[in-house]
Amino acid sequence: MGLAKVSNGFSVKAALRLCERLKLSATQTDALFRAMQSGNAARRAIVLSPKSTAKNYQPPFSCEPRKKYPWLPENVLLPDESVNPAQHADYAAGMYYVLDISSCWEGAALSAVPSAPEKSLDLCAAPGGKTMLLAARFPLRDHTANEVQACRRGILRENLLRCGVENTQVTGLPPDQWAIQGDQFDLLLVDAPCSGQSLLCKGISNPGCLGSAAVNGNAKRQRGIMLQAVRCVCPRGHILYTTCTYDPAENERVVSYLLRRVPGWQAVEIPLLAAFRSDLCDFPAYRLLPHHGFGAGGFCCLLRRFS
Ligand SMILES: C[S@@+](CC[C@H](N)C(=O)[O-])C[C@H]1O[C@@H](n2cnc3c(N)ncnc32)[C@H](O)[C@@H]1O
């Protein structure tokens, strides 16, 4: 596997420990190391915006056939790898939003939400990718894109405005302030702040992201956010929990903590993502890794309040 060569700003020992925790085979471990080392696992997708879906829009560049990606929603396309879609005038005109394909994979979990939400909240929204994926699947009726960091709210507003996302307000409340307002939402997106281990596979330096301090600190914050998130959702409502990191402590274990601690919730099967089901837990949760060949990777779990 050429471990001696793995030096792209991350600790080989910590990466090996992570692979053990993920119970990866030798081939999968090799693929993850290669992706971390080369930093070229990112793959751009475009999410057609409400502006373009209204006009039956075709992008001005060629896109890959979608057959390989049965879980992609219809209005998410994969430009040929030679294309940089953010450089086209149509991007500035808000015809589409650009995301890594692994974010779109996470958004595919929304396929198991049975109907358009009446009232939805993207709790960790900036710069707006998950709200764009929600808008690509359902008409937004009463949506809130919330971002606690004031310095990230401007770009969130700008992106949603440029792409013509309607019926959406931008706010900046911390999760506990939403929770005290009661269980008013039927869909919550929690794209949690995380250690961002997948950034390494996109060639973005992220020192310490494999270490226990980063992982445990983020896991604690994620558990805190989720304990507030469940208080915002009405009976039969859903939470989509996602991260762009690999560690089980920030993924399966956050969900399992919540399911043990809060009665009335269950994780929901996502048939479209069956091939990605995590074997690190006994409830339906899904993880994407570089060896799957669909971008840098991530985790998703859809939770439903049944009482
Ligand atoms: C992974 S990013 C969200 C990306 C966004 N959903 C998208 O798809 O473009 C996580 C966001 O959570 C915000 N955040 C950080 N700490 C938070 C907290 N304690 N509660 C809620 N959000 C937090 C960060 O500012 C960051 O914008």
CB crowding 202-213: b at 16 or more within 10 Å, else e: bbeebeebbeee
Minimal-distance CA residue to ligand 1 atom 2 = 193
Q: What is the pLDDT of residue 6?
A: 45
Percent residues over pLDDT 70 in the chain? 97
> In a mutational test of the pocket of ligand 1, which residue from 148, 158, 170, 251 has the highest number of ligand atoms less than 8 Å from its CB?
148
Catalytic machinery residues: 244
> In a mutational test of the pocket of ligand 1, which residue from 124, 143, 199 has the highest number of ligand atoms less than 8 Å from its CB?
124
Q: What is the pLDDT of residue 154?
A: 98
Tell me, what amino acid is at 209? C
CA of 180 from ligand 1 middle (Å) equals 20
Q: What is the pLDDT of residue 4?
A: 37
Average pLDDT over residues 253-274: 98
Average pLDDT, the chain: 94
Average pLDDT over residues 123-144: 98
* Higher per-residue pLDDT: 1 or 223: 223
Minimal-distance CA residue to ligand 1 atom 22 = 124
Confidence of residue 98 (pLDDT cuts 50, 70, 90): very high
Residue 44's DSSP bridge partners are 100
Residue 1 has pLDDT above 80, yes or no: no
Considering the entire predicted model, what is its pTM? Answer: 0.96
Residue 260 has pLDDT above 70, yes or no: yes
Query: Which range among 3-7, 199-203, 226-230 shows the weakest confidence by mean pLDDT?
Result: 3-7
Confidence of residue 55 (pLDDT cuts 50, 70, 90): confident
pLDDT digits (tens, 9 = 90+) for 241-250: 999 999 999 9
Q: What is the pLDDT of residue 67?
A: 82
Confidence of residue 305 (pLDDT cuts 50, 70, 90): very high
DSSP notation for the chain: --GGG--SSS-HHHHHHHHHHTT--HHHHHHHHHHHHH-----EEEEE-HHHHTTT---SS-B--GGG-TTS-TTEE-B-TT--GGGSHHHHTTSEEEEEHHHHHHHGGGGGS-S--SSEEESS-TT-HHHHHHHHHS--SSEEEE-S-HHHHHHHHHHHHHTT--SEEEE---HHHHHTT-S-EEEEEEE-----THHHHTT---TTTTSHHHHHHHHHHHHHHHHHHGGGEEEEEEEEEEES---GGGTHHHHHHHHHHSTTEEE---GGGGGGB-SSSSS--EEE-GGGSSSS-EEEEEEEE--
Residue 300's DSSP bridge partners are 242, 286
- Terminal Cα distance for the chain, rounded: 49
Q: What is the pLDDT of residue 5?
A: 40
For the CA of 103, the nearest atom of ligand 1: 8
pLDDT digits (tens, 9 = 90+) for 159-200: 999 999 999 999 999 999 999 999 999 999 999 999 999 999
- For the chain, the domains span 43-305
Q: What angle (nearest 5°) sits at the alpha carbon of residue 299, between those of residues 20 and 131?
A: 160
Q: What is the pLDDT of residue 8?
A: 60
Q: What is the pLDDT of residue 99?
A: 96
CA of 125 from ligand 1 middle (Å) equals 6
Could you tell me which CATH number the domain at 43-305 has?
3.40.50.150
CA of 20 from ligand 1 middle (Å) equals 28
Residues flanking ligand 1, CB < 6 Å: 123-130, 147-149, 152, 174-175, 191, 193, 221, 225
